[in-house]
């Protein structure tokens, strides 16, 4: 039998997973056949910054944070 609603766990996927799935769904590929998941992630970030969508928290420090640490 299937699991009850109480037994199901909410799985939150990261931004990379989301961009890969969207690129696959849209069949959005580069000339070499690789998915354009980085470009998709950039679009998602822009939409997130404008408050148009919600995304899971970023798992990596931004390059700006890394530079700030190195400059100190």
Provide the residue-wise pLDDT of the chain in tens; the chain has 72 residues.
455 545 556 566 889 999 999 999 999 999 999 999 999 999 999 999 999 999 988 876 655 544 544 554
Dihedral over alpha carbons 43, 53, 7, 5 (to 10 degrees): -130
- Of 47, 45, 43, the closest CA to residue 64 belongs to 45
Q: Give me the residue spans of the domains in the chain.
A: 11-71
Question: Can you give the pTM of this predicted structure?
Answer: 0.65
Q: What's the rounded Cα separation, in Å, for the pair 55 and 44?
A: 8
* 29 close to 20: Cβ distance less than 8 angstroms: no
Q: What's the rounded Cα separation, in Å, for the pair 36 and 46?
A: 16
């Amino acid at each position: 039998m299937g699991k009850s609603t109480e037994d199901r766990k909410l799985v939150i996927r990261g931004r990379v997973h989301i961009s890969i799935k969207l690129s696959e769904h849209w069949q959005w590929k580069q000339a070499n056949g690789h998915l354009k998941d980085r470009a998709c992630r950039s679009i998602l970030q822009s939409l997130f910054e404008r408050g148009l969508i919600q995304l899971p928290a970023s798992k990596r420090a931004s390059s700006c944070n890394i530079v700030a640490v190195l400059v100190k």
